[in-house]
Amino acid sequence: MTEDPGHVPGTASSRPGGGAFPPVPALHATGLRRSFGGTVAVDGVDLLVPAGSFFGVVGPNGAGKSTSLLMAVGLLRPDAGTARIFGVDVWADPVRAKRMVGVLPDGLALPERLTGRELLHYLGRLDGLDGASAARRADDLLRLFGLDGTGRTAVGEYSTGMRKKIGLATALLNAPRLLVLDEPFEAVDPVSGAVIRGLLERFVADGGSVVLSSHSMSLVEELCDRVAVIVAGRTAREGTLDEVRRGESLHDAFAGLLGASTANVEMPAWLRR
Amino acid sequence: MAAPLIAMRWRLLGRSLRGARAAWVAALSLAGLGCAAVAAVLAADASHSGRTGLAVAFAVWGAGWLVVPLVGIGGRDALKPEHFARHGLTHRRLSAGLLGASMVGAGFAVTVLFFGTLAVAAAPLGPAALAVAVAAAVLTAVVALLGSKIVAATLAETMHTRTGAVLASLPWAVVAAAASNGAVLLVAVGRSGFLGGRWPAWLDGGVRSVPSGWGVGAVEAAGRGDVLGALAWVLALAGLGLALFSGWARFTRRRSSGPVGRTRHARALPVPAWADSLAGGALVKESRAWARDPLRLYHWFFALWFALVYCAIPVLAGTTAYLPWAGVVFGILAAAGAANLYGIDGTALWLTLMRPGRERADVRARQAAWLLTTAPVAIALTGAGLALDGPSVMAAWVVPVLVVVLGAGAGLVVAISVRAPVAVPDAHRRTTPAEDAGNTVGLVWAVIGLLAAAVAPSLALTAAGVLGWPPGAGAGLVCAAVTAVAAWWGPGRLAARRLERRGPELLDRLAGRAPSRTAARTAAPDPRSDTARVALGLSLGAGWTPIAMGVLSLVTVADGSPSSTAWTLPARLPARWAVLCALCLIAVGVFVYARAGRLVWSRIRSRPDR
């Protein structure tokens, strides 16, 4: 599994083994479980992401989406369960597994004293690219996300949306086969959001696989072909978009799974006009 | 406005004052009450020198309030102006409310009592003087509180810059160095005749002219029957309080009306050609973090100021013997300050974890960057110190120690920080380094103690050389070089292996995630809790002190040279007692190390991940 440093990220030929992917799932997590202190955050999450699919993970706040994704990519050790990326166990063979995935975690820091270009350059070097390739990819990605004008600004000074974009750029840097993105559109401006959407759609069209978590049901409905709904630390429903929404909108199906309804919200008297 | 803020502060205090923190606050409060009792005794002395003594005590107490924000005591549970940015409050009302809330707590109560000892001085002078004293005491306490708040606010704004970090490290380093070399400082003070009542002439006026002494001035005026004079002092205090309040309210307005403007630019440095390798790239990345991160700069400059002041203080007592050690002290403190090297970068560790196989390069780059930022200065300080001290045998002692400190320091900064990191806020969420650095006391002392242990074999050989075994000096140097290389390489390898095997757990700690229930069942009782870590660190860090005192005293006795520093204090006793005392000190040190070692071993044995 070697890198070809000369290609622009996102294209099929730049990916290791690009073109004909083996018939193994891009991501297969089974029975993931994790507690923090006495609180069980994830209690049996299964995710099956076929290669080439655009997979959405939805769920209410605190349901365990981010925790599950962190376990799936090898950043949080599960109490139980397994995670495989293209058939490679993330915990048994992290070197091979992590080379195939690009990750955008939610809420984790970046080296804040580096500029965006420096950050991408050094991470590219750590990914095994030579200096010229790392520099070229850094420039490509900065331009792609509209960050090429931020030359002297340290990452610590970026706005929330800019941090999201540079994080996404780090995820794409090693031209992965699978992208696992936690809330990639949060705080991103509409123009950049459209760029990211276009990029992800192209990525999947070229044979890549994407897993993204989001609170935006309409976005997930538009982009994803498969969806998992996580509720209270468990996979409540998983399948194709149609299988999950069962003739309703995804929003209604989601609310139904939660046993919640927004139709008759009881407004406190003091709030009424 | 103040009532809800005071209620919030009260509730926050109730939540935070538990366990070790509650004991710590109680101990500090008791110590404060003891100081207040001493101040009351001073206040009962109606003589001019008695009043001067009281004013000196007030000045020291007031200065303490200004230093408190620099060392980060308290404030962690404080209400911040930005918490209330969305409420339609004028900044003056918000400031008044926050000030009222700040008065809730043991610190302010003890301070009011402390300055309240003015009442003891004023009571014999009649009710008018007593009223003046009470008003002055309360106002002085409020002025001290406001002064402290302005220092904290200034620090919070300037600390985001590198210059701010450098300047903020200075006063704390001076205080710490003076406290660490207290014995020598006392010798200097004793020689000056200060304690015998021979105070310099400027002191009388000096302590009365600073705001902490205005209350004393008011009581003295009242004692003379000068009502207008007494009122003038009190009004001056009230005016200063208002001015400080107004100044602090400006800070509040800035902080409650959005993020404080602090656009900073990194220097757009090109990536150097020699960095076009895996190791080179990682080294440049790490070096730039040292040059740009105010928190790292704060620790580095703290080490520098500390070393300079610590080694310069003995000059006041007439000895230059400490000067050659400035480089060594700097090296030790720089290593101690970097004991949380991985913790400082926070959850950015995830980027390394997503690139398995690169851990070793990352660790070695961090070691090399620490050496590059520390070694040149340490060597220069040592050279300058040796030159200023003049020709002596000191170089034979200093050089091997410096070599070991630099080598082992580079090893320990990665090994300790990977083993027991302390989570700190991400760079863009930091306020002041003192608040943000976390409780690293245990780590700092562990590094100091382990460095002392690493130095011991080389020092023993050097001592043998000084005592008449000619090959000793050369063997000491060779031993130092071997120790330095081994203590750089070995801990670095251990750190890389730890990262490879337990990287996600390290990330858990940095992200502040609680360990899982499964891990809690199988793991030993958390060996890295604050209390355990501090106890272990103190044992490891302090054990060498009596050993060093004992060994140096034995060398001094055998050598027949007079004791000139606090390290050889037992050598001042008659020879037989000096040897006995030195041996006892060594035994105490060995006992402390043995206990620490036993604790470490029991932790290692009971951990499932060893």
Based on its alpha-carbon atoms, the radius of gyration of chain A, rounded to whole angstroms, reads: 19
Q: What is the pLDDT of residues B76-94, one digit of tens each?
A: 556 777 777 666 677 888 8
What tokens does A2 get?
A: 């070697």
Q: How confident is the model at residue B608 (pLDDT cuts 50, 70, 90)?
A: very low
CB–CB contact B281 A121 (8 Å): yes
Q: Is the pLDDT of residue B111 over 60?
A: yes
Q: How confident is the model at residue B434 (pLDDT cuts 50, 70, 90)?
A: low
Residues of B in contact with A105 (CB under 8 A): 350
Q: Quick one: residue B138, left, alpha or beta (phi over 0 = left, psi -120 to 50 = alpha)? A: alpha
CB–CB contact B271 A131 (8 Å): yes
Residues of A in contact with B282 (CB under 8 A): 122, 125-126
Taking alpha carbons only, the member of B240, B239, B237 closest to residue B135 is B237
Q: How confident is the model at residue B522 (pLDDT cuts 50, 70, 90)?
A: very low
DSSP, res A155: G
B276: nearest CA partner in chain A: A131
**Chain A contacts in chain B segment 12-41 (CB below 8 A):** none
Mean pLDDT of B370-386: 95
**Among A80-84, B236-240, B435-439, whose mean pLDDT is lowest?**
B435-439
Q: How confident is the model at residue A7 (pLDDT cuts 50, 70, 90)?
A: very low
**Among A178-182, B219-223, B281-285, B451-455, whose mean pLDDT is lowest?**
B281-285
SS (H, E, C) B455-474: HHHHHHHHHHHHCCCCCHHH
**How many Å apart are CA B67 and CA B434, to the nearest integer?**
11
Residues of B in contact with A81 (CB under 8 A): none
Taking alpha carbons only, the member of A151, A146, A203 closest to residue A172 is A203
Q: What is the pLDDT of residues A164-173, one digit of tens each?
A: 899 999 999 9
Q: Is the pLDDT of residue B533 over 80?
A: no
> Which domains, and CATH codes, for chain A?
23-100+177-261 (3.40.50.300), 111-175 (no CATH)
**Among B174-178, B480-484, B498-502, whose mean pLDDT is lowest?**
B174-178
Q: Is the pLDDT of residue B392 over 80?
A: no
Q: How confident is the model at residue B521 (pLDDT cuts 50, 70, 90)?
A: very low
Q: What is the pLDDT of residues B130-147, one digit of tens each?
A: 999 999 999 999 999 999
**How many Å apart are CA B117 and CA B427, to the nearest integer?**
44
Asked if A30 and A46 count as a contact pair (C-beta separation under 8 A), the reply is yes
CB–CB contact B271 A170 (8 Å): no
**How many Å apart are CA A237 and CA B434, to the nearest integer?**
48
CB–CB contact B354 A103 (8 Å): yes
Q: Is the pLDDT of residue B518 over 70?
A: no
Q: What is the pLDDT of residues A240-253, one digit of tens each?
A: 999 998 888 888 88
**How many Å apart are CA A185 and CA B484, to the nearest integer?**
50
What tokens does B105 get?
A: 């707590």
Taking alpha carbons only, the member of A119, A113, A121, A154 closest to residue B292 is A113
Q: Is the pLDDT of residue A273 over 90?
A: no
Strand A54-58 relative to strand A226-231, pairing: parallel
Q: Is the pLDDT of residue B530 over 70?
A: no
Q: Is the pLDDT of residue B109 over 90?
A: yes
Asked if B39 and B112 count as a contact pair (C-beta separation under 8 A), the reply is no
Between B269, B507, B514, which is nearest A36 by CB?
B514
CB–CB contact B348 A125 (8 Å): no
Q: Is the pLDDT of residue B259 over 60?
A: no
Mean pLDDT of B7-35: 82
Asked if B421 and B510 count as a contact pair (C-beta separation under 8 A), the reply is yes
**How many Å apart are CA B322 and CA A123, to the nearest integer?**
45
Mean pLDDT of B582-592: 85
Residue that wins the pLDDT comparison between B608 and A254: A254
**Among A133-147, B87-101, B445-459, whose mean pLDDT is lowest?**
B87-101
Percent of chain A with pLDDT over 90: 45
CB–CB contact B264 A94 (8 Å): no
Residue that wins the pLDDT comparison between A6 and B241: B241
How many Cβ atoms from other residues are within 10 Å of residue B243's Cβ?
Answer: 12
Cα–Cα distances (Å) from B273 to A131, B270, B279, B291, B367, in that order, read 9, 9, 12, 19, 21
Phi, psi of A212 (to 5 degrees): -135, 145
Which of B350, B429, B436 has the most A C-beta neighbours within 10 Å, making it the best mutation to test the interface with A?
Answer: B350
CB–CB contact A111 B348 (8 Å): yes
ipTM of the complex: 0.75
Mean pLDDT of B190-216: 78
- pLDDT score, position B314: 86
Residue that wins the pLDDT comparison between B321 and B58: B58
Q: Residue A71: helix, strand or coil by DSSP? A: helix
Question: What is the nearest CA distance from A261 to chain B, expressed in angstroms?
Answer: 30
- pLDDT score, position B274: 56
Which residue in the block uniquely carries the two structure tokens 């040897």?
B579
Q: Is the pLDDT of residue B495 over 90?
A: yes
Between A39, A75, A113, which is nearest B266 by CB?
A113
Q: Is the pLDDT of residue B261 over 70?
A: no
Identity of the amino acid at B574: P
Q: What is the pLDDT of residues B287-324, one digit of tens each?
A: 888 888 888 998 999 999 999 999 998 888 778 888 99
Identity of the amino acid at B501: R
Q: What is the mean pLDDT of chain B?
A: 82
- pLDDT score, position B528: 44
DSSP, res A178: E
Q: Is the pLDDT of residue A200 over 60?
A: yes
Taking alpha carbons only, the member of A175, A213, A238, A215 closest to residue A25 is A238
**Chain A contacts in chain B segment 243-302 (CB below 8 A):** 263-269, 271, 275-278, 281-282, 284-285, 288-289, 292-293
CB–CB contact A154 B276 (8 Å): no
Mean pLDDT of B262-275: 54
- pLDDT score, position A190: 87
